[in-house]
Amino acid sequence: MQDPVEKPKKVIIIGAGPAGLTAAYELCKAGIQSLVLEKDNMVGGLARTLNHSGYYFDMGGHRFFTKVKTVENMWHEVLGEDFLKRSRLSRIYYNKRYFYYPLRAFNALSGLGFWNSFLILLSYLKARLLPDKPEETFEKWVSNRFGKRLYKTFFKTYTEKVWGIPCNEIRAEWAAQRIMGLSLLSALKNALLDQKNSHKGVIIKTLIDSFHYPKLGPGMMWERVADIVQKDRSDVRLGSEVNRFFWSGDRIDSLEIKVNGQNELVNGTHFISTMPIRELIQKFEPAVPERVLKAATDLNYRDFLTVILVINKRDLFPDNWIYIHDPNVKVGRIQNFKNWSPYMVPDQNKTCLGLEYFCFEGDGLWTKSNQELIELGKKELEILGLALASDVEDGTAVRMAKAYPVYDSTYQESLTIIRQFLSQIHNLHLVGRNGMHKYNNQDHSMLTAMLAVKNILGANYDLWQVNADEEYHEEIRVGDGKEADEFALLSSTQPQIPERSLARTKKLDSNEIIIRAFARVDKLAFAIAVGSVCGLAIFITTLFLIIEGGKIGDRNLQLLGQYFIGYTITVKGAFVGMGYSFFWGFIWGWLIAYLRNLSSGYFIHRARSKAESSSFRNLLDYI
């Protein structure tokens, strides 16, 4: 019997952002034509680049940095020499001071003050020894890794400004995806020690100090991809809005789109969607079950707008961007586009800034006129001391709806219901940030599209595991030898996303439960923390006695001179005492962590031995 002839594939892609155009690009490589439908009149989605009077600006600031080799290869293939290597400088504006981010120890110490720094370290130690469980919210996730005091100082105000909801209503998954493995002590190790040595060949993604960037902004990348796929007989149709998805049984049959006021029917064999899930579900015809429709309606989004200001000054500040943690202004972040790429500003004697305001579509900020927003931006620049309003010579404002999927207290339940329903639609593939209601970076959005194309070609990747496992996204290995060879092998091929069984997802095996319950303490990190607290305690106490004239407690503290050679109640003695105290605090901290790991390792060894035969090497490896 002759095998049936396979029907030619016709892939319809909704959305011409990074995910949608990556899918079209990969399909072209596979020799499959596609049709990309974009309701806006330009490509790029949130990663678009706009042009105002010759000044190019990026919507949100998009670093091109990834550990996914296939994504990096695509960037270089498309942009070639127009793909610039840029240094990163970003700071936090807090309490009228600037703090480097990633953290620089002495900058943070001088900015926060010795006493506040001391309390932050105590708060961190408390969080590490007595973490707040279960770790379900953003507030708990950050507090457990940075301490409650540093969370309130640097995270709470800014995060609530961005999302418009309290931090105890934001799910921990958002922090896990965005902060990616960073903690107070990993930041301190990065600041105090050589990066490669301190991480044994591991660089935390949040701490990178350089990145790539297209010469004329990220939109340049996606405009070129759109040109490439159209030259390869695929089509990108702008101004084409999807009105309805016609479905029956286990598949999408066709779409109804609106172009220039006219409705048109589009047929396809496979459909890739990057549109917000809420809109997707609401456009199904016939209507989906009421439970699924309600779940979609309950998904929320955060919108934002950018106020562009052209300033008649050559240099304002050296940063690529600044995070604004000041509650006295509404602006959340300020981009300096000339520092992203000098080619984005036509006159190097001027500066182009992007002031980002986070809001909800239809609220007071969103409905302001462009001129009102420009005046607000000028006023807030003066409040922050970055520029004079009189130096602003031009400006505009651009709004972006549904820029960020919100990880609120109900989103997981809603998404589970929707995913269960959509799992029966075999020719519909969800990709990208809004397409999956998942706060992906650009590279992860692109990876979901690449894997969706692989699935259309016959593979069976679980797209929902992209940017889900800490092992997948937390760190980059750049070590020598076997470790580097293994990473190079994995990253040079299509990344295999682990597929977990339902039982595995719901219930951890006994080994993992034991290990998570008795998590290993990092000896070096704990020793640095204890040493820092001890050193600061002696330093601050000595300074206090100097201010008080050395009369209070003078005799008792002078006894330290018998043990700390050179210590006196003077400024010089304060530094001598801090050095000694740090040293002995470090020794005791390391010893305490070692003994704690030894006892925990012994307990784990005994627990494992009861369940299965285990070697003594497990104990030694743990310590």
C-alpha to C-alpha distance for 322 and 422, rounded to whole angstroms? 40
pLDDT at 518: 57
Share above pLDDT 70 across residues of the chain, in percent, rounded to a whole number = 78
Sequence-ordered list of residues with C-beta below 8 angstroms from that of 496, at least 6 positions apart, any chain: 461, 490
| Closest CA relative to residue 12, chosen from 182, 222, 254, 190 | 254
Task: Please indicate, yes or no, whether the overall pTM of this predicted structure exceeds 0.85.
Answer: no
Half-sphere exposure of 176 (CA within 13 A, CB side): 16
pLDDT, residue 545, reads: 76
* Cβ-contact 205, 475 below 8 angstroms: yes
Are the C-beta atoms of 96 and 375 separated by less than 8 Å?
no
Q: Could you give phi then psi for residue 393, rounded to 5 degrees? A: -110, -10
Which carries the bigger pLDDT value, residue 523 or residue 306?
Answer: 306
Confidence at residue 435, expressed as pLDDT on a 0 to 100 scale: 95
520 Cβ contact partners less than 8 Å away, ≥ 6 residues apart: 597, 600, 622
Q: Which regions of 268-300 does DSSP assign to beta strands (E)?
A: 270-273, 284-285
Q: Do the bridges between strand 90-94 and strand 97-101 make them parallel or antiparallel, or are there none, so unpaired?
A: antiparallel
Rounded distance, CA 50 to CA 37, Å?
A: 20
pLDDT-based confidence at 591, cuts 50/70/90?
A: confident
Q: In a 10 Å sphere around its CB, with 0-12 CB exposed, 13-18 middle and 19+ buried, how is residue 99 labelled?
A: buried
pLDDT greater than 90 at residue 167: no
The answer to whether 587 and 527 have CB atoms below 8 angstroms apart is yes
For residue 71, pLDDT beyond 60: yes
- Specify which residues 284 forms β-bridges with: 245
Tally of CB atoms within 10 A around 360: 16
- Can you tell me the mean pLDDT for 484-506? 36
Cα–Cα distance measured from residue 516 to residue 529, given in angstroms and rounded to the nearest whole number? 22
Compute the distance between CA of residue 468 and CA of residue 462 in angstroms, rounded to an integer. Answer: 11
Residue 8 has pLDDT above 60, yes or no: yes
* Residues in CB range of 377: below 8 A, 6 or more apart: 307, 309, 331, 355, 392, 395
The two tokens of residue 557 are 């503290």
Q: How much is the mean pLDDT over the chain?
A: 81
**Average pLDDT, integer, range 533-554:** 72
Coil, helix or strand at residue 308: strand
How many whole angstroms separate alpha carbon 272 and alpha carbon 1? 34
- In this prediction, residue 557 has a pLDDT band, given cuts at 50, 70 and 90, of low
More confident residue, 45 or 172: 45
The rounded distance, in Å, linking the Cα atoms of 211 and 199 is 20
Which one is predicted more confidently, 110 or 382? 382
User: In the chain, what's the furthest Cα-to-Cα distance?
Assistant: 103
pLDDT of residue 549: 65
DSSP state of 100: E
Whether 123 has a pLDDT exceeding 90, the answer reads no
- What is the 3-state composition of the chain as percent helix, strand, coil, each rounded to the nearest 5? 50, 20, 30
Q: Which residue has the higher pLDDT, 251 or 153?
A: 251
Closest CA relative to residue 268, chosen from 6, 3, 7: 7
User: What pLDDT shows up at residue 297?
Assistant: 95
pLDDT (0 to 100) of residue 79: 96
Q: How far apart are CA 92 and CA 540, in angstroms?
A: 26
Say whether pLDDT at 175 is over 80.
Answer: no
Instruction: Give the model's confidence band at 1: pLDDT under 50 very low, under 70 low, under 90 confident, else very high.
Output: very low
Range list of β-strands (E), 140-267: 202-204, 210-214, 235-238, 240-248, 251-259, 262-267
